[in-house]
Structure 1
Amino acid sequence: MGRHKQPEIRDRILDACVDYALAHGLPDRLEPLAAASGTSTRMLIYHFGTRDALLRETLGRARQRQRDFFGELVSPRPDEPYPSTLRRAWRVMTGPAGRPYLTMFGRLREDAEQQLWPGFRREATTDWLRPLEDGMRSIGRPELGTLVLAVVRGLIMDLEATGDASRADQAFDDFLAALALVTTTGTFVVPAVRR
């Protein structure tokens, strides 16, 4: 008679694999995940079936952590104007605590085949829309959630590609200033382009 799988052990192993993947990226082999979780590759296969199944679950758990973490950051607060919430969220998301998520999922978004998570690009494009709409609803403009999402995603991609944090931070601050005008005046004012 075989051993019964123990969900708490499997859960502990998965959390250790997520911690490793966020710090180092998804490995090509199981050995680094086995070492990080204090087990053997044989036990990883026992608990998860295949390498790809383990990697899919690792990505899923990491994404859930990111949703919880970032979701809390972009949630409106009764004592804070929403643009201030967005500014603080941007700093944390692009800072040391948030960068591992951006790096991991940026690589996955760039994966043309997306074998580990088919449909990730679409999901990653839309999963932040509702929290941002809820935040923008707090200032009476839920329809601007799409605009906020587009700016955040675009600047994150820029930051990942260039590493120019000061330029991306300044662009986000400029966007928030424009957003403040929109929410107070009701119109979006585009500055004149100097030639």
Structure 2
Amino acid sequence: MQGAGSPRREELLEAAYAYVLRHGLAGLSLRPLAREVGSSPRVLLYLFGSKDGLVRALLGRARSAELALLDGLPENDAAALLRTVWEWLAAPAHRDLLRLWVEGYGRSLVEPEGPWAGFAEATVRDWLAVLGRVLPGPAATEALALLRGALLDLLATGDAERAGSAVAAYVARLR
């Protein structure tokens, strides 16, 4: 990758990230993306090394948004942590990011090679590390399964009240 760390690369990464939040990664084509971000396919390939390199960079950018949430969570109160996480997950402003996350997660399960490699496993490890600070081993896995299930349900149905009620009932049992 010739342009790693360059301001132009970072500028185009942010613009491409905004594009994939709206359009997803499935069927990503360099021509429409380049046109949208004010560049050319050749420049994108130069800066990211390949289309796979661009996809890896975009997944990394999405993961950094996820990690930013994880860094700011309550440290010693499981109920507060889970409520904070659910409020963030349920916020309409995060729907595009979460759909992108689901796409990357799913693709990494069915296409374990290439730019998707390890995405799902890394995100599981990230979340279990955070949840494990306030919940013992199996309880952290249970909480992660509940949050992911509620998130998928919310994205599929838009029913934040019902999915949120399930999360709230789980949190209430923690007390």
State the TM-score bracket (shorter-chain normalisation). 0.7 to 0.9
Q: Are 2:155 and 1:155 equivalent residues in the alignment? A: no
Select the structure with the greater relative contact order (CA < 8 A; seq sep ≥ 6): 2
CA contact (8 A) 1:52 1:116 kept: yes
Amino acid at match of 1:179: L
1:169 aligns with 2:125: no
Query: How far did residue 125 of structure 1 move?
Result: 2.1
Alpha-carbon separation, structure 2, partners of 1:90 and 1:107: 20
Matched residue, 2:70: 71
The 5 Å alignment of 1:75-94 reads 75-76=74-75, 81-94=77-90
Q: How many residues align?
A: 168
Q: 1:113 aligns with which of 111, 114, 137?
A: 111
Amino acid at match of 1:150: A
Q: Sequence identity, in percent?
A: 36
Provide closer, same or farther for how the CA distance between residues 127 and 88 of structure 1 changes in structure 2, counting only shifts above 3 A: closer
Contact 2:95 2:155 in 1 (8 A): no
**Separation of aligned partners in 1, 2:67 and 2:22:** 18
Distance 1:35 1:94, change over 3 A: farther
Cα drift, residue 14 of structure 1 = 1.0
Counterpart in the other structure of 2:96: 100
Structure showing greater radius of gyration is: 1
* Aligned with 2:140 (options 137, 141, 145): 145
Gaps of 5+ in 1: 181-195
Q: TM-score if structure 2 supplies the norm length?
A: 0.82
Deviation of 1:170 (Å)? 0.7
Q: Counterpart of 2:125?
A: 126
Unaligned 5+ segments in structure 2 are: none
CA RMSD of aligned residues (A): 2.3
Shift of 1:171: 0.4
Higher helix proportion, which one?
A: 2
How far has the Cα of 1:44 moved from its partner?
A: 0.7
- Residue 110 of structure 1 deviates from its aligned partner by 2.4
Query: 1:34–1:40: 8 Å Cα contact kept in structure 2?
Result: yes
Q: Secondary structure at the match of 2:93?
A: coil
